[in-house]
Amino acid sequence: MDYLLKTVSQLRPMLLGFRKQAGLTQEQVAQRLGISQQSYAAFEAHPESASVDRLFRVLRLFAVEMRLSAPAAAQSAAPKPGAKPRKREDW
């Protein structure tokens, strides 16, 4: 089943659902990741502050793959292969 993720606030309930679907407790997930239960609980409570690497490690543990797609209008505006990159903006 596919889940649409549009905001980081949606990560927490999705991660919780994936963990429960896998039949795992926070303690079991933490053991498999080699971290403490408290560390995993903090990650699950605030996944938006975690690194992308940590998020991917957890998603792999739940056998979840991530797909990124752009709306049709945005796809037509995508740079062509071999095109020079735009000037980088300061955030």
- For residue 57, is it within any domain? yes
Greater confidence, 37 or 72?
37
- For residue 31, is it within any domain? yes
Q: Per residue in 3-36, pLDDT tens?
A: 888 889 999 999 999 999 999 999 999 999 999 9
- For residue 70, is it within any domain? no
Nearest to 47 by CA among 5, 89, 2, 91: 5
Nearest to 18 by CA among 3, 39, 34, 36: 3
Q: Per residue in 32-68, pLDDT tens?
A: 999 999 999 999 999 999 999 999 999 999 999 988 8
- For residue 74, is it within any domain? no
How would residue 79 be classed by pLDDT, with cut points 50, 70 and 90?
Answer: low
The whole-number pLDDT of residue 23 equals 97
